[in-house]
């Protein structure tokens, strides 16, 4: 069991996840978002290869158009 903080909320997962799997779990649309893991931006090309460890802190930011 691993604990991950996702957008400020602690959650438990039975198996390790990568970023792509975590986003799918939360039904996040992948367009126009940025992912920060433990204070570092993770590029989209690395989402599938980046495993989340116990106590990882993940933040998702969505671009919003406006003027």
The model's pLDDT over 4-16, given as tens digits with 9 standing for 90+, comes to: 999 999 999 998 9
Q: Where residue 63 falls among pLDDT bands split at 50, 70, 90?
A: confident
Say if residue 67's pLDDT is above 80.
no
pLDDT, one tens digit per residue, over 1-53 is 999 999 999 999 998 999 999 999 999 888 899 999 999 999 999 999 999 99
Task: Reply yes or no on domain 2-62 having CATH 3.10.20.30.
Answer: yes
Strand 40-42: give its sheet, edge to edge. Answer: 9-13, 2-6, 56-62, 33-37, 40-42
Handedness of CA 38, 12, 54, 31 (dihedral sign): negative
Report yes or no on whether pTM surpasses 0.85. yes
Q: DSSP for 29-52, please give it.
A: --TTEEEEETTEEE-GGGGGG-BP
């Amino acid at each position: 069991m691993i604990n991950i903080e996702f957008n400020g909320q602690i959650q438990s997962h039975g198996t390790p996840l990568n970023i792509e799997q975590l986003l799918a779990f939360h039904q996040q649309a992948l367009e126009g978002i940025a992912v920060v893991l433990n204070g570092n931006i993770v590029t989209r090309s690395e989402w599938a290869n980046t495993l989340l460890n116990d106590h990882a802190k993940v933040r998702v930011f969505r671009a919003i158009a406006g003027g």
